[in-house]
Amino acid sequence: MIDLTNPVILIPTLAILLICVAISKKIKNPYIMLGILALNIGLLLSHFFGMNSENLQNEKSLYYSIAIDFAMLLISFLSYLWIDNIKAKEGGSKVIEDGISWFWDKI
């Protein structure tokens, strides 16, 4: 299981996330962020199922990792909506109709 409370793992993970956001914005392709979103969901599920294992060694670290997973999930989802909006403003088709406004209306 990946321990996201370790700075040696957390910093490269966040760097990869930000690099994917920058690449996705540069080529105006929101589907890259959908892939990152799927990876974040998988990571969250692996931490969740790890919480249910019997050999739980560091419970506090696992809770922090789950919180970091949720933060990265939110960042990747908002990045997806943002890049989809950029693509739509340039004349491409939107994947989600009125993406960022749709998100804030639901909150």
Q: Is residue 46 included in any domain, yes or no?
A: no
Of the candidates 84, 78, 77, the one whose C-alpha atom is nearest the C-alpha of residue 38 is 77
Tens-place pLDDT, residues 63-89: 888 899 999 999 999 999 888 888 887
Residue 3 pLDDT > 80: no
Q: Is residue 49 included in any domain, yes or no?
A: no
Distance in angstroms (rounded) separating the CA atoms of residues 66 and 45: 9
Domain count across the chain: 1
Q: Is residue 22 included in any domain, yes or no?
A: yes
**pLDDT for 107:** 64
Count other Cβ atoms within 10 Å, centred on residue 90. 7
Residue 51 pLDDT > 90: no
User: b/e per residue, 43-76, with b = 16+ CB within 10 A?
Assistant: bbeebeeeeeeeeeeeeeebebbbebbeebbebb
Q: Is residue 3 included in any domain, yes or no?
A: yes
Distance in angstroms (rounded) separating the CA atoms of residues 82 and 99: 8
Tens-place pLDDT, residues 10-38: 899 899 999 999 999 899 888 899 999 99
Residue 5 pLDDT > 60: yes
Distance in angstroms (rounded) separating the CA atoms of residues 72 and 40: 7
Q: Band of the pLDDT at 104, cuts 50, 70, 90?
A: low
Q: What Rg, from alpha-carbon coordinates, does the chain have?
A: 16
Q: Is residue 53 included in any domain, yes or no?
A: no
Range of the domain at 19: 1-32+59-107
